[in-house]
Amino acid sequence: MSGAQTTDGSGWLIGKLNCIWEVLQDLGRVLGYTRLSVLVTLLAGLALIFFGQGQDLIVIHAEEPWSLFLFYPAVIFWALNAWYWARVTLKHCKAIPVSESCPTPLFGGRKRRVAWLVRHVPRLIGTAAFALIAIAQFVASGREGLAGAEQDLLRDLALLTLGLGLGFYLFVRFRRPISRALGRLLSALRKGAPAPDWLMLSPAPGYSFARRLSELPSGLKRSFAVFGLALLLVFLLATLTPTWLGWLRADVVFLVGASLWIAPGTWLILLGRHGQLPLLSFLVVMALAFSFFNDNHAVRKLAPNAPAPRSSLAEALAAWRGQWQEQPAPRLVLVATAGGGSRAAYWTGSLLGTLQDLTPDFDKRLFAISGVSGGSLGAAVYRSLLTAKPDGAAPCHGPRTPYRDCARAVLGQGFLAPTLAAMIFPDLVQRFLPLPLLPDRAAALEEAWELAWRRQLGSDLLGADFFASWPRAGDGEAARDLPALLLNGTSVATGKRIVTSNLQLRGILTDAYDFFSQCRLRIRMSTAANNSARFPVVGPAGTLPRDGNADGDAGDQEGCDFDRDFERIVDGGYFENFGATTALDVLRALKTLACPRGPQDCGLEIVVIQISSDPDYPGVVERDPASPGTAEAESRRRGGPAPQRFASELLAPVETLLNTRSAHGDLAAQQLRDWAAGEPGADYVEFRLVKREGESVPPLGWVLSEAAKTSIDCQLLVEENTANLAQLGDLLQFDAQAFLEELKTSCPESG
């Protein structure tokens, strides 16, 4: 008896589990058919929730509410695509089995359940687009550094987005009664003529698996044609002139671009179902196979020619000293500037431009700038401004601060939209081609920088040869190698630095590569900056070709002589994000060259300027072992959040590697500060982006809002930056007080 009860009990449990499994099978089949809409919706939404640059795009809506007039139509377009093409796939793919196998059917039986899923899952997918945006807005509202009013606005926007999502669901749920009413109205206006097909008054006909695609309904064919033409138009624009799409916002380009791929993907799914081939899976395998041959990320180069000759560090130091033959040499200045996307570029360019305006001979005192990522772009723009010499003809020219104003005008423009357009369209299609035929998204970013320069200065220095910013003898003035640029990238093969500079650095750098010593490539100034600023995901690794000589003799060939078939270069922040290591290499070499008999008989006084752009970075510690405050100061270093609890066995190594990158940068900056503290005649001045109460932290990415730019503009009014500017004024003999007073009039008061 007991055994029979046990058998009956286990049979009941197995039966229930079978019924639950049947429900999951039905849901899995529906989601499998609509997987393209599900995948695009999830990827786009999660990118805005979990990726820093996605959150930056959401935060900008709080700073610039007018941008919502472009953003919400893009969200609606995204949701409509996700819903419509999921619906089309379910209507025109093989019917889902509805034979009942469960003794006690769940949710009204299998036939009813499948019909409900077919009707409602596409609607829920489209509605999920709004839900994911609302989650992204709510997450962004809790972002540290946001002003209270901006946090409230983002929460309100999250509620608005949920309301729009509810409205969207109700619309697609009751679209047929709405369409019938509209159809009757249009029929009356058309004097009895039938309503147009696009109202979708009649349900889509059934589709047998053996039926040919050519027999698809005419309305669906027109849908494919319309979306196909739209995709082709945007693809051509993104391929031929990606900078033209720069007038659109990056979030709009991202959502609309991702949505446009759902239609051709649906066509492939239907075609694959017709031919019983998994075409999408085949495309993924094909992309992996073609990746051996179709790399289109070669570092952009000018017409074949050898790079310009470069001076050695000793020659550059002699030239620097030669400027002051008739007067005592002032302090030699060397700048190290950290990465951080547009905010680092804008902060670096603005600060260096300010120093140039306050000290007209600052460029003669400045020996070199060691930059990383966005800091490298800011340094490249400043260096090019010294050659362009902005005057009244330039739109960016200011009456009192022309260099600062022009740097801000160039670097304050948006660069992300063209890059995303190139990434979503030509760069994505290139992955499925066997040979490199389509342009690189890195080129789109460089062209966006060049266009920003042309708009403000009228010339093309950023798009010209890297060495064009250092006029040679015969160009109307004596040759000048200073201020030099030291733009730091990272080798993918070795993890070492690759430094792009107009000076010869072989033998100067410690365990690093000198780009032009390794490569005989003529590159643009924008490309040199991008050698250092290849952001993860947004910027691809740049490929450097080998010269092809088996014996390693480069001769006049164009290429690189790394000890491998090819090299790839990525963002300099992978190694360390401050540019301090290269700055320290150069400083040590300068001291050796200038003081052959030791520091007691040197006569070279140095000012080191460190620029950082991470508001979470607490700055260097003035270490004095005899001071009781030193240990306390070191204990307040950047600590970071607690390690992840989730999947620590898998994620702990990745988390450690990412945090080690930050620790390397902090250490390098501290070592640079300690070197200056220990060298006679050396001083160290630090400028940081600092969190200001009541203001948002400027976002990290290739786009800045007006509020973010204003926040950076006013950073010199932060107490410690003001004090450091005064310290630098004492060292370089300038008075910044009038500039600071004028700056106060344009900066909002903050706590």
pLDDT at 392: 66
The residue ranking higher by pLDDT, 363 or 108, is 363
pLDDT at 8: 60
What is the average per-residue pLDDT within 341-358? 94
Supply the mean pLDDT for the chain. 82
pLDDT at 203: 45
Distance CA 408, CA 402 (A): 10
All domains of the chain in start order, with CATH: 2-173+204-212 (no CATH), 311-635+648-746 (3.40.1090)
619 closest CA partner among 683, 682, 684? 684
The residue ranking higher by pLDDT, 277 or 534, is 534
404 closest CA partner among 70, 712, 27? 712
On whether the CB atoms of residues 75 and 133 are closer than 8 A, the answer is yes
| Count of CB atoms situated within 10 Å of the CB of 29 | 18
pLDDT at 597: 63
* Residue 201 predicted with pLDDT over 60: no
Distance CA 250, CA 81 (A): 19
95 closest CA partner among 114, 113, 79? 114
* Residue 584 predicted with pLDDT over 90: yes
Among the listed ranges 16-20, 182-186, 251-255, which one has the minimum average pLDDT value? 182-186
504-533 pLDDT, tens digit each = 999 899 999 999 988 888 999 999 999 999
| 262-271, 640-649, 683-692, range with greatest mean pLDDT | 683-692
Distance CA 620, CA 333 (A): 19
This model's pTM is above 0.85 = yes
Using DSSP's 3-state secondary structure scheme, residue 488 falls into strand
Distance CA 79, CA 296 (A): 32
The residue ranking higher by pLDDT, 180 or 503, is 503
* Residue 133 predicted with pLDDT over 90: yes
Residue appearing with tokens 């009990």: 9
Parallel, antiparallel or unpaired: strands 497-501 and 513-514 = parallel
pLDDT at 707: 78
Measure the CA angle with vertex 106, ends 100 and 109; round to 5°: 45
* Residue 602 predicted with pLDDT over 80: no
666 closest CA partner among 580, 574, 585? 580
What is the average per-residue pLDDT within 233-250? 84
Residue appearing with tokens 């320069």: 453
On whether the CB atoms of residues 78 and 12 are closer than 8 A, the answer is no
- 16 DSSP assignment: H
